[in-house]
Each structure stands twice: as structure tokens, then as C-alpha cells.
Amino acid sequence: MAEDTPPPTTENPRPSGCWRLIGMMLLFILLIGGFLVWKFVDVAKEGLAWMGTNFVTQDINQTFRQSVTEIASNQGDILEVSTMQTDETVTNYDMKTLFNQTVYLGTTISEIRLPVVYRYHIKISEDWDLKVENGQCIVHAPALRPSLPPAIRTEGMEKKSEAGWLRFNAAENLAALEKNLTPTLEKRAGNRSHLNLVREASRKSVAEFVKTWLLKQDASTVDQVKSITVIFPDEIPANGQPRIMPPTVQVP
């Protein structure tokens, strides 16, 4: 009797290399697709943020310019931004010689000391430029100007005049000094050293002016601004590159 032979065993077929390759390609495509979607969303967010910032900048700039035009026409063109009182000394020297400066006849010295009140302003009707960057409202304001003439406190005025040893013009020299007193003080009011003394106080006043206007706007505009930085025209570098400055005031 013949022995029963067991049926041949069949091995499970192994996945072919073709299917494995297809699976890897599908996985790769899914990874690339996910990366592209992620980048698209990221770029879209940046684009929306850029559009929002530029829209706010344009809106603030236009609305503010319209407002200051109305203010200038209704309330005047001058916005006083700072006041400074200081003691000034004005001196006049008058030297006299004869024979081609061979014989010295002396020098008359006249001096006036007095308290002076300087006031500074900007002209509202001049160019403004507002720009919003990362929550910072950068304000390029009009130039800082002295209000002329300065106020002279005559009650505190002190005068003295001494003539040289062969001079007899002390009174005349002092009178000439007094005559030119106001023009001299007007020149001092506009020089850089005096402007620098009131610069930061003026910057703060301009920033508060812009802040007061800003807080009257709609909430969507106010929410975009966290601080205000004021820059005057003489603070822009000669190369025209933007100057980085700290915030002048916070909002609100």
C-alpha cells in the first residue's frame, strides 16, 4: 500500500518590489504635499499681515492729514510744543586804535544779562508722514521752529558798560547793544544748541498730539498701534536711511 504523500506546501507570495516602490512614492508625495500646504499657509499669513499693516498705514496717513488740515483751518496753523526760560548774556566789544593799530586806545565793553522765554512750534499744515511697523507708529513730523520774537523779561534785566581808558562811549555802546538785542536773541532761538535743549520736550508734545488724535479713531486702527515714535526732519541721516529710535510714548 502506497504511502500518502502530503500535499505540497505553498508559500505566501511576497510583495513585489514594484508595489513597495509605489508605496514609497505615495508617501513621498504626501510629505511634499504637506510641506507645500504648510508653506502656503505660512506665506498667506505673512501676506495678510503685510496687507493689513500697509492698509493701516495708508488709512492712518490719509485720515491724519485730513484731520490736521481741518485743525489748521479752524484752530490755526501753529502747534506750540515747548517752552524754555533761560538767562542770556549779550556782550558788545568796541576796540579803538590809531595809526594802523599801532596805538591802542582801549576797548569799551557793554553787557546785558536777562531772562528770556523761548517758545517753539511746528506748522500743522506742513508735511506729515505716518507709518505703522510692527505695532510702532513712526511719525515724520514737520520741522521744529522758534516762535519769534522771544519774550524778554525786562524786570530781570541787568546792564553794565565800561569804557576803555581813552574811550568815552560807554552809553553809546550800550545803546547799540540794546538796539540789536531782539535780533540777536532771535538768531539764538533758532540755533542748533537751543533747538536741542527743547527737542525731547517737543518730541513728547508732538507724540501726545498724535496719540490724542489716534485714540479717537476706530478700535481696529488703535489696536494696530502699541507705541508712537516722532522724528523731526533734521534727525534723518544724510544718506536718507531710516533712523531707529525708541518709542516716544506708549499707546494707550
Residue 33 resides in a domain: no
Identity of the highest mean pLDDT range in 61-65, 117-121, 214-218 = 117-121
Q: Which 8-state DSSP code applies to residue 141?
A: P
pLDDT, tens only, 154-169: 999 999 999 988 889 9
Residue 45 has pLDDT above 80, yes or no: no
pLDDT the model gives residue 5: 56
Q: Is the pLDDT of residue 189 over 70?
A: yes
SS3 227: strand
In a domain, 15, yes or no: no
Has residue 44 been placed in a domain? no
Does residue 67 lie in a domain region? Answer: yes
In this model, does residue 49 exceed pLDDT 70?
no
Predicted local distance difference test score (pLDDT) of residue 147: 98
Distance CA 252, CA 248 (A): 12
Range of the domain at 154: 49-250
The rounded radius of gyration (Å) of the Cα atoms in the chain is 38
First CA to last CA distance, the chain: 107
In a domain, 13, yes or no: no
Number of domains in the chain: 1
Q: Tell whether pTM > 0.85.
A: no
Position 6 in a domain = no
* Least trusted range by pLDDT, from 41-55, 168-182, 190-204, 218-232: 41-55
CB-CB contact of 153 with 114 (8 Å):
yes
Please report whether residue 21 resides in a domain. no
* Cα(91)–Cα(85) distance, integer angstroms: 19
- Closest C-alpha to 232, from 208, 196, 185: 196
Q: Is residue 90 part of a domain?
A: yes
Strands (E), 99-226: 103-123, 129-133, 136-140, 145-152, 158-162
Is 16 a residue whose pLDDT tops 80?
Answer: no
Query: Averaged over 193-213, what is the pLDDT?
Result: 97
